[in-house]
A and B are shown apart, each in its own frame.
Chain A
Amino acid sequence: MNDSSSPARSLSSGGERAAAGGPSSDVLVSVEGASKRFCRDLKRSLLYGLSDIAADLNPFKTGARDVALRDDEFWALRNVSCDLRRGECLGLIGRNGAGKTTLLKMLTGLIKPDTGRITIRGRVGALIALGAGFHPLLTGRENIYINGAVLGFTKREVDRQFDDIVDFAELREFIDTPVQNYSSGMQVRLGFAVAVRLIRPDVLILDEVIAVGDESFRSKCYQVVSDILGRCAVIFVSHSMAMINRLSTRVMVLSNGEAIFTGEPVAGIETYLRTIDGSDGIVHRSLGTGEAVIHRLALEDENGASVSDLHYSRPWRLCMDLTVSAAFTEYDVSVTFMSRAQELVAQCHSRANRQRLQHDGRRHRVEIAFDAQLLNPGRYWINIAVFDRSGTRHLCWEFGITQFTVVGPFIGSAPLQMLGSWHTTPLGTKSVVPSSSV
């Protein structure tokens, strides 16, 4: 490709580390001010597609393309820039529709940028669309060769890796069975094995595919992807913050097509969590009989200030003002903490805490003090249920009543991050290096 003949139409003004004199040689991926516009309306979108094709076909058209938004269009990606070197891993995070997939599609050359310039040095390998080209009626064996050819490998190259692929996918006994008889997990395993055993990329593009198959296969995938990571520049999309934190050396947060943050992973994840508002599928719903009412709910930090961000490992309190029907002299309160995926990750129950909550039928305040916030940094929702003493009647049940963010200097991979007291003691005597035979 003749690089020098086409001057970069670089629009990178807001991008970090905009390449002034052309990207240096160890930069494998260089995105300079890339934008892409999409259309909300299908009929219009098709027309715009035709007009874009016509513009490209016109050999006499010179000068800059018109890049204003047309009717019904929006920026799916706007002026995004980044450089990536070998050994670096850029985690892309953002809500659905933030522009992550659009960026990946431009990097793989599937779609063209409307502005800017993308330069890639070396071979691009993508772990996206696993098992592309699979035909359900053909056997696993036949499909391995088809998928290999789709990824650009010859029969001989696939031959060399064939046994490895089959073993990795753990499908030896089913390899001559039509793929339509595979479970979906088996199909994905085969697709993953083909891709990961064949590609030798300089630039690797990963789209949430590490999380395939069951738990044991997943850890194997993670292992093999980690092995590839160090050898190339990686761009990686995931909704799992734990995965992003584990793999990324840098994070780019996309919001409505714009890169609102590029930098260190933990800070990026915090930025991302802040962009998610409560509408993320979790809507506050009041269930229950209405025989108890919560008037006010507040989270307080150790200084007694009402906050929505709690610091990991710091003390905090939950305060609520409520009224319970005089028909019930005693009641119980259950507070559950829910992740964004609506999984319950922790609970605090008055009965488990051996409390007897009593009242006189008037408005009163309940405070629960916690020594330390132990939840993994991230965003959580609170559900509160007030029960009668029998534990069967929901006097009040507030689902997703409020949300808060736990901030901390790390992101772990489990919802609960316990605090322990750690000691190491020298044992003096003989030092025995553990060997594999033990």
Chain B
Amino acid sequence: MTEDPVVTIYTPESPIRRPASFIREMAADLLASRELARRLFLRDLRAQYRHSLFGYLWMIVPPLMVSAPFIYLNSSGVMRMGETPIPYPAFAVVGTVIWQTFVDALNSPLRVMNASRAMLTRINFPREAILLSGLMQVACSFLVRLVLLAGVFAAFSLPVPSTAPLFLVGMVSVALTGLAIGVFLTPLGLLYGDVQQALPLASTFLMLLTPVLYPEPVSGFGATIAAINPLTPLVTTTREWLTMGPAEHVASFIAVSAATIVFLALGWIAYRLALPHLIARLGN
């Protein structure tokens, strides 16, 4: 052994007391986790659809199932969704594709952590790999749903504006925002099942408070809610980039995205600090 050996030290003190080495370790683990993340992602993808008749088609079902009732209610006149710049069905499908990516990203950390529980409590591997594989699944589902969007655009003969590539930037921001919240909830969610119970309910509620299936209200109580809801600029801007061209709330979009990056970094730190304690409490 001629090479200088790596020295690893475990002490009770919090690693953030030595920020320089803590950040170095975070970066090193993130780099080291790419191969494992790819493997875990491919494993879950292959296994999930290997015994399924419709396979990847299942990825486009959630946004369709969410938008279909609203499209029906709107077209039958039971519930008026307001004036939309493009035909309502297209508006609703684009909105739910964006929203579903947010929800997928929000749920992914806790979902993949729970699925990898046995591995987590027995083997030390770069913990970022699990989060990364979850994010890859979110991205994969989104890419498949692009086919759905293409179909909708073709069906309604919608023009694709020059800002359409910015739609992908918007989607990254939407996904990272979901991920950041999900990562923050993970330590609590691993200890207490309540989080997993509450997440689907909370995300449905949140969807109805966000202009996903209806245009942003311009007056009244709805306008106030939309204005203070940080998800509003994310969803509306991303949708406008794809369907209309230059968007209205770009400044708030950038502000929310910047906050997301900070929030995600903090969540990542909390996740790393929490894991040894979580494993000690989860047992085998």
In the complex, how many angstroms separate the beta carbon of B102 from the nearest chain A beta carbon? Answer: 26
Known: A46-B281, A150-B123, A154-B35. A120 touches B16 (CB 8 A): no
Which residues does chain B contribute within 8 Å of A122, judged by CB atoms?
1, 5-6
Residue from A56, A108, A109, A123 in contact with B6 in the complex, judged by beta carbons closer than 8 Å: A123
Which residues does chain B contribute within 8 Å of A8, judged by CB atoms?
11
Contact status A146-B39, CB under 8 Å: yes
Known: A49-B191, A111-B276, A155-B35. A137 touches B51 (CB 8 A): yes
In the complex, chain A residues 98-123 whose Cβ is within 8 Å of any chain B Cβ: 105-106, 108-123
Known: A109-B124, A114-B12. A142 touches B43 (CB 8 A): yes
How far is B46's CA from A129's CA once the two chains are assembled, in angstroms? 23
Judge whether A202 is part of the interface by a CB distance below 8 angstroms.
yes
Of all chain A residues, which has the CB nearest B119? A132
How far is B16's CA from A202's CA once the two chains are assembled, in angstroms? 28
Judge whether A254 is part of the interface by a CB distance below 8 angstroms.
no
Which residues does chain B contribute within 8 Å of A120, judged by CB atoms?
7-10
Judge whether A367 is part of the interface by a CB distance below 8 angstroms.
no
Known: A126-B123, A129-B123, A132-B123. A50 touches B191 (CB 8 A): yes
Contact status B43-A56, CB under 8 Å: no
In the complex, how many angstroms separate the beta carbon of B74 from the nearest chain A beta carbon? Answer: 41
How far is B192's CA from A49's CA once the two chains are assembled, in angstroms? 11
Judge whether B279 is part of the interface by a CB distance below 8 angstroms.
yes
Tally A residues with Cβ within 8 Å of B. 63
In the complex, chain B residues 143-167 whose Cβ is within 8 Å of any chain A Cβ: none
Judge whether B218 is part of the interface by a CB distance below 8 angstroms.
no
Contact status A1-B21, CB under 8 Å: yes
Which residues does chain A contribute within 8 Å of B10, judged by CB atoms?
106, 109, 112-113, 117-118, 120
Judge whether A128 is part of the interface by a CB distance below 8 angstroms.
yes
Of all chain B residues, which has the CB nearest A51? B277
Contact status B125-A6, CB under 8 Å: no
How far is B47's CA from A327's CA once the two chains are assembled, in angstroms? 71
How far is B9's CA from A3's CA once the two chains are assembled, in angstroms? 8
Contact status A57-B270, CB under 8 Å: yes
How far is B13's CA from A67's CA once the two chains are assembled, in angstroms? 12
Residue from B43, B50, B191, B276 in contact with A146 in the complex, judged by beta carbons closer than 8 Å: B43
Contact status B123-A128, CB under 8 Å: yes
Residue from A49, A52, A119 in contact with B9 in the complex, judged by beta carbons closer than 8 Å: A119
Judge whether A404 is part of the interface by a CB distance below 8 angstroms.
no
Judge whether A40 is part of the interface by a CB distance below 8 angstroms.
no
Which residues does chain A contribute within 8 Å of B46, judged by CB atoms?
137-138, 142
How far is B9's CA from A326's CA once the two chains are assembled, in angstroms? 74
B18-55 interface code vs A (CB 8 A; 1 in, 0 out): 10110000000000100110111001101100110000
How far is B125's CA from A126's CA once the two chains are assembled, in angstroms? 11
Residue from B39, B40, B122 in contact with A110 in the complex, judged by beta carbons closer than 8 Å: B122
Contact status B8-A152, CB under 8 Å: no
Contact status A152-B125, CB under 8 Å: yes
Judge whether A160 is part of the interface by a CB distance below 8 angstroms.
no
In the complex, how many angstroms separate the beta carbon of A137 from the nearest chain B beta carbon? Answer: 4
How far is B187's CA from A128's CA once the two chains are assembled, in angstroms? 25
In the complex, chain A residues 1-28 whose Cβ is within 8 Å of any chain B Cβ: 1-3, 5-6, 8-9, 28
Judge whether A229 is part of the interface by a CB distance below 8 angstroms.
no
How far is B12's CA from A61's CA once the two chains are assembled, in angstroms? 13
Which residues does chain B contribute within 8 Å of A106, judged by CB atoms?
10
Judge whether A38 is part of the interface by a CB distance below 8 angstroms.
yes
Tell me the interface secondary structure of chain B in the complex. helix
How far is B121's CA from A149's CA once the two chains are assembled, in angstroms? 17
Which residues does chain B contribute within 8 Å of A123, judged by CB atoms?
5-6
Contact status A111-B7, CB under 8 Å: no
Most buried by B among A114, A124, A128, A137: A137
How far is B35's CA from A56's CA once the two chains are assembled, in angstroms? 29
Most buried by A among B10, B14, B124, B126: B10
Judge whether B78 is part of the interface by a CB distance below 8 angstroms.
no
Of all chain B residues, which has the CB nearest A232? B1
Known: A56-B14, A109-B124. A49 touches B8 (CB 8 A): no
Judge whether A135 is part of the interface by a CB distance below 8 angstroms.
yes
Of all chain A residues, which has the CB nearest B37? A149
How far is B160's CA from A109's CA once the two chains are assembled, in angstroms? 52
Judge whether B79 is part of the interface by a CB distance below 8 angstroms.
no
Residue from B18, B125, B191 in contact with A2 in the complex, judged by beta carbons closer than 8 Å: B18
How far is B118's CA from A339's CA once the two chains are assembled, in angstroms? 33
Contact status A53-B40, CB under 8 Å: no
Of all chain A residues, which has the CB nearest B191? A46
How far is B38's CA from A142's CA once the two chains are assembled, in angstroms? 13
In the complex, how many angstroms separate the beta carbon of B30 from the nearest chain A beta carbon? Answer: 14
Residue from A46, A55, A151, A152 in contact with B192 in the complex, judged by beta carbons closer than 8 Å: A46
Using CB atoms and an 8 Å cutoff, list the residues of chain B in contact with chain A.
1, 5-18, 20-21, 32, 35-36, 38-40, 43-44, 46-47, 50-51, 118-119, 121-126, 187-188, 191-192, 269-270, 273-274, 276-281
Of the A-B pairs whose beta carbons lie under 8 Å apart in the complex, a sample of 13, sorted by A's number, is A55-B14, A57-B273, A67-B12, A119-B8, A121-B8, A122-B1, A122-B5, A126-B123, A137-B50, A137-B51, A145-B39, A149-B38, A154-B35
10 nearest A-B residue pairs (beta carbon) = A129-B122, A49-B281, A149-B39, A56-B14, A122-B5, A118-B10, A111-B280, A112-B276, A149-B36, A137-B47
* New contact pairs (5) apart from A56-B16, A123-B5, A138-B43, CB-CB < 8 Å: A105-B279, A112-B277, A115-B12, A154-B35, A202-B5
